[in-house]
Amino acid sequence: MKRSIPSYGLGTFSDDRHTFAGVVAGERVLEIADDTLVNGAATVLALLDEWDATRRHLPRLAETARDSGTLLTDLRIHEPLRPRHIIQAGANYRSHVMEIIVSGREPDDMRSEDELYAAAGKMLDDRAATGSAFLFAGLDSAMCGADDDIHLIGESRQTDWEAELAVVIGRRTDNVTRADALEHVAGFTIANDISARDLQFPAEHRPLGGDWLRAKNRPTFLPVGPFLVPADNIDDYRDLEITLDLNGQRMQQDRAANLIFDVESLVAQASQIAPLLPGDLILTGSPAGNGGKWQRWLQPGDTLTTAITGLSHLHNTCIAPTAQPAASKGNNQ
């Protein structure tokens, strides 16, 4: 599957000599030299630390990249950056939550599916109007790049996928309002939140709400990338379509317009819990179509293609639990 973006973005790449931050436009990449846009090493995180200044130079660099940059096919693509914080939203697509409600109804519930969906829809409308998003923290050590292997673990027989739109913060964000939230968003990228479902809610931890750390934060369980696409290049994030294909078969498909709590709400709510910093990621949740719906779990040899309109795609292969993940070469991001 050919990888390119229609506009431009930022990423972290390596060749046989070094790892570097670059501007990607179309199918080509231009390295950003140290001590040019920022003082010192030109990492993506350093660019985001001075985002209001550095973003102005990106269109010019993108034109150069498009004309004379290095082909993407000649480079390894790492995760775009390593954030200081990762905040994740759970159960945040109408389709996903309604699917859970309808499939999990009690045996004595005699309502039709139409009645169940109508009741679920009203409940979600009320939640969006008066409730709050379910947020939890992730670890950057779980991250891997757009083409890296996902290392399954021997403890789990029910490892699942979750295609997600990820928000990248562009300035310190502390107690912002929903109305001001998008001013703090630098851009967007793609994530796939791999989850060991049979470890997420073990009987011993169920009274405490589940073991999210153990289930979701294993090395390579969070492919992210391939690029950070600036918010300036996205007309309306609500129009972005999120898809996930397992071995070429479509499993998930939805639009960001169907988020229960939209990007503005997530940024505002997260910033009321803790200050967000440049480069921090907020994963916005995953649509319906996870492994539980299909009763299909990840196996060695499976390939996952996670795509979002205008942001390109991830393409990750699952490998057997006995293999050990290689150390990331992109930790200086």
Task: For the chain, give the mean pLDDT.
Answer: 92
Q: Which CATH number fits domain 86-319: 3.30.70.1250, 3.30.1490.20, 3.90.850.10, 3.10.20.90?
A: 3.90.850.10
Mean pLDDT of 138-155: 98
Beta strands in the chain (DSSP E): 5-14, 19-26, 28-31, 70-71, 76-78, 86-90, 134-138, 143-144, 150-151, 159-160, 163-169, 185-192, 195-196, 222-230, 241-246, 249-255, 281-283, 303-308, 312-319
Say which residues have a Cβ less than 8 Å from residue 71's Cβ, sequence separation at least 6: 27, 28, 29
Say which residues have a Cβ less than 8 Å from residue 52's Cβ, sequence separation at least 6: 170, 171
Q: What is the pLDDT of residues 84-137, one digit of tens each?
A: 999 999 989 987 777 776 666 777 777 777 777 777 777 778 787 788 999 999
pLDDT at residue 210 greater than cutoff 80: yes
Domain with CATH 3.90.850.10 in the chain: 86-319
Question: pTM score, two decimals?
Answer: 0.92
Low-confidence winner among 33-42, 214-223, 264-273, 286-295 (lowest mean pLDDT): 286-295
Mean pLDDT of 244-249: 98
Helix (H, G, I), strand (E, B) or coil at 174: coil
Does residue 226 have a cis peptide bond before it, meaning omega lies within 30 degrees of 0? yes
Task: For residue 90, give Cα distances in angstroms to 49, 67, 94, 259, 294.
Answer: 28, 41, 11, 11, 19
Q: What is the pLDDT of residues 222-243, one digit of tens each?
A: 999 999 999 999 999 999 999 9
DSSP one-letter code for 247: T
